[in-house]
Structure 1
């Protein structure tokens, strides 16, 4: 199992509802990609946290990383929603162990 983890902040001028709209759209389309098994979103409890939000998308295995990266649904979501909204971000893929 792989977890694709993104911690991010919103572009200045965007609010909480803008973030939720983006996350809802991501849930709607990204979970349709083969090999995506789960989708999680959260917000930092501490308002002073360096990164306010996280998005975690689980994949069945490492082979899904490349499939996901270039899948048309992901590319469209990233171009039309995520990159425009989440300008300050870090992305890393992790192996999950039982």
Structure 2
């Protein structure tokens, strides 16, 4: 990872009533929308396999620097996604933002 690169990870659980089809649709839609937003690099959809925490999934992506990350957060597609998809379907989440030492 380059020195100014930010690795943004979001661990999350979907609503308890979500079916397997709902989950698959959410993951596919999320990848399609979020990975297409400018500034997003190395987008990944991940499934939790450890019993050490109780989150089910994660999104991981990288941003070239803080400016790119800030621009992503206010991008209209990201704002729309959070309001209309994320806030409706996600039960709880944890965000982790990392830079290389």
- Equivalent residues in 2 for 1:16-95, closer than 5 Å: 16-46=20-50, 49-95=53-99
Runs of 4 or more above 3 Å deviation: 46-49
**How many equivalent residue pairs?**
97
Q: 1:2 to 1:48 in 2, by over 3 A?
A: closer
User: Which TM-score applies when normalising by structure 1?
Assistant: 0.84
The CA deviation string for residues 3-60 of structure 1, in whole angstroms up to 9 with x for no partner, is: 1110111111002322221222222222222211121111122468411111112112
User: Which TM-score applies when normalising by structure 2?
Assistant: 0.82
What RMSD over aligned residues (CA atoms) do the two structures have, in Å?
1.9
Structure 2 gaps of 5+ residues are: none
Q: 1:40 to 1:90 in 2, by over 3 A?
A: same
Structure 1 gaps of 5+ residues are: none
